[in-house]
Amino acid sequence: MAPANTKEIYGSLVFNEHVMKERLPSATYKSLKATVQRGQPLDLDLANVVASVMRDWAIEKGATHYTHWFQPMSGMTSEKHDSFLSPNRDGTAIMEFSGKELVKGEPDASSFPNGGLRATAEARGYTTWDPTSYAFIKDDTLCIPTAFCSWTGEALDKKTPLLRSMKAVSTQAKRVLALFGKEVTHVNATVGPEQEYFLIKEEHFNARQDLVLTGRTLFGATPAKGQELEEHYFGVIRPEVSAFMKDLDNELWKLGVPSKTKHNEVAPCQHEMAPIFDRCNVAVDHNLLTMEMMRKIAKKHGLACLLHEKPFEGVNGSGKHNNWSLSTPDMNLLDPGATPKDNLQFLIFLAAVIKAVDEYQDLLRMSIVSAGNEHRLGGHEAPPAIVSIFMGEVLEGILNAIASDSEYVVPAAAKIDLGVEVLPQFAKDDTDRNRTSPFAFTGNKFEFRMPGSSTNISDANTILNTAVAKELKGYADELEQAEDFDKAVVALIKRTIRDHKRVIFNGNGYSKEWEEEAARRGLYNEPSAVEALSAIVTPKNIQLFEQMGVLSETECRSRYEVKLEHYAKLRHIEAVTMLEMARRQLIPATSAYMDKIATGIVRKRKAMEGISCKAEEKVLLELTRCTDAMSETADHLETCVEQAEAACDSLERGRIYRNKVLPAMEQLRAAADAAESICGKDHWPLPSYSTMLFYV
């Protein structure tokens, strides 16, 4: 395949600003841009012009259908395709697409997860165009990014609360900036999500029912070699993986996704892709497209892309580092400034983030909860379930000096001499990096490292935006009444640091000592995914969402119900899959192998009286023990699943799955993995970890 011209293909399938400026009438283009920037309703006459031009452009690109592309509360994307075709009475046809069809669709609202917002008989729901996220063409279909709400107006999706939170943080940030004498049209929450994933051979994926149905291996003995040699991280990329990455880049670039960085990750077969920052809702849309394209393109290369947080036990899982910041069209608000005034501005926004993270630790923890992420958090591969902020030695020293009214001398940037004349000296950064921190300041942004690889990051960013907006509102309310602005700002920063410095921690977040220290500081620590979900329905947090206009109490409770149900359903699928595999594959396989060994013992003794069969007998006894254990633990697991399914409400069901079903699954796995380690390789029905992770 000829190399792609990156500049030519980038955004070639996107109805972006360049295309709009080129194709729309000048007045229409200016009106649409003003509408988007001011957040005003879209005029239908304007929409009709945009729809006509968008249709013609899409048809030129080979599109035959259009769809409203939205994000229901399942976290995935959904689409219903309609043709542009409209037949005439004379047997011919025309291609139609109106402004009404652009801005509004009507999917079935009761068939998607809704947490009680819609009954089965109450089917009406609406999708509405999000003009701040460009339309694009995928599979010969014009995809129009949209929000999804019920007939009664409640948000049924991930995007609507995200857009509301972006509006809230923009409104409050503008108020604070105005106090510094800076009038801006808008402030954007910007995000750059680093996406981790695994690639294995498709034939191995298809040979394992657990991977096909659950995304993770429910069985698998520890291989002789894992990641202990630390040779894979940033290592040479396999040719087949490199071909996949090149293909992925090309397809993402066509869709306007700014794929920038690619490399091998720590675990065998694990990789990472990182894009350039974009506006929050656009970054979320792009990340969802990225995951879809990863799965699709992997198949073209005979591979399977695994986006589960923990597809292989005993090796590192996958996360999605959410790099978040606040920006105006001209400046990053989390960048230290060149003047004292600019640095005061930087510190006030920094203080707002610190206060928001401390006051809403539980919500941030809740935002990244999933069945998959529960296996990943807290190990020596991912941050703990405790939310803390890494600031670095220099910045923490500055903050402490401000809080204590003491002088702090910032050390001069040290030079690093590599001891080789041909290599240049260079200045050290003010801070080291701390990969054990769940929320780390990295120069001009915060890296939220807790989200899992498969998650829709709308929830995490909705909560970040909302919490920071609330603190900025409090700051603006106070500072607008101040007689001496500069003194009031300094006093506010001091108070924030004194009251919320407990959440700042620069040490090893993986250590047991930190858990003990966090407890002494009174930080929130809830390891159970099920219990952590309740944060969204506490009075304090409902008040936050309602005050900032992001979610109503009803919408909060619906999301709680959806998340509980989703957790229980995933655990149910995993448990039933384990039972099927154990009873229909693993126990029959070990029984067949034992039969072969027993037959061999009989033949051996028949051939030579008194011959030793110690080795065979040892294997036979051990496999008998393992097989009996598999049978007994499978029966126990089935009983636990029945108990969970009989629970009267979602919370109790989730608790049983977490506290009883999961331990029973671990017992069944232990028995099966022990059997795998002694069963003949040709008799074990599943590809082993060594086969999947070290393929050639």
HEC per residue, 56-77:
HHHHHCCCCEEEEEECECCCCC
CA–CA separation, 674 vs 627, rounded Å?
A: 9
Give CA angle at 322 (226, 295), nearest 5°: 60
CA–CA separation, 141 vs 499, rounded Å?
A: 53
Q: How far is CA 182 from CA 172, 185, 351, 474, 654, in A?
A: 13, 10, 19, 19, 49
CA–CA separation, 641 vs 506, rounded Å?
A: 42
CA–CA separation, 88 vs 387, rounded Å?
A: 61
Q: CA torsion sign, 216 to 622 to 690 to 225?
A: positive
Q: What pLDDT does residue 93 have?
A: 64
Question: Are the CB atoms for 490 and 190 separated by under 8 Å?
Answer: no
Q: What pLDDT does residue 1 have?
A: 45
Tokens 């998959």 belong to which residue?
Answer: 372
Q: How far is CA 3 from CA 139, 236, 239, 249, 587, in A?
A: 22, 21, 16, 12, 51
* DSSP conformation class of 303: E
Instruction: Say which residues have a Cβ less than 8 Å from residue 232's Cβ, sequence separation at least 6.
Output: 264, 265, 266, 267, 268, 270
Q: What pLDDT does residue 392 have?
A: 84
Provide the angle, in degrees to the nearest 10, between the axes of the packed helices 458-479 and 159-179: 30
Q: What pLDDT does residue 415 have?
A: 47
Q: Nearest CA to 686 among 567, 601, 602, 577?
A: 577
DSSP string, 183-211: --S--EEEEEEEEEEEEEEHHHHHT-HHH
Instruction: Say which residues have a Cβ less than 8 Å from residue 94's Cβ, sequence separation at least 6.
Output: 85, 86, 88
Q: Which residues of 96-114 are buried (b: 16+ CB within 10 A; e: fewer)?
A: ebebebbbebebebbebbb
Q: CA torsion sign, 203 to 208 to 214 to 217?
A: negative
3-state helix, strand, coil in the chain (%, to 5): 50, 15, 35
CA–CA separation, 99 vs 44, rounded Å?
A: 6
Q: Nearest CA to 473 among 398, 402, 549?
A: 549
Q: Which two tokens stand for residue 239?
A: 């040719």
Instruction: Say which residues have a Cβ less than 8 Å from residue 204's Cβ, sequence separation at least 6.
Output: 304, 687, 691, 692, 695
Question: Phi/psi at 398 (nearest 5 deg)?
Answer: -65, -45
Tokens 């200016």 belong to which residue?
Answer: 30
CA–CA separation, 337 vs 553, rounded Å?
A: 40
Three-state SS at 325: strand
CA–CA separation, 649 vs 302, rounded Å?
A: 43
pLDDT along the chain (696 residues), means of 10: 71 95 92 77 86 95 95 90 84 79 82 75 81 94 93 90 97 97 94 97 98 98 79 84 96 96 92 95 97 97 97 93 95 84 87 97 95 80 83 83 74 48 46 76 92 96 98 97 90 94 91 91 94 96 98 96 96 98 98 95 90 92 97 98 96 97 98 96 96 89
Three-state SS at 326: strand
Q: Nearest CA to 395 among 407, 410, 406?
A: 410
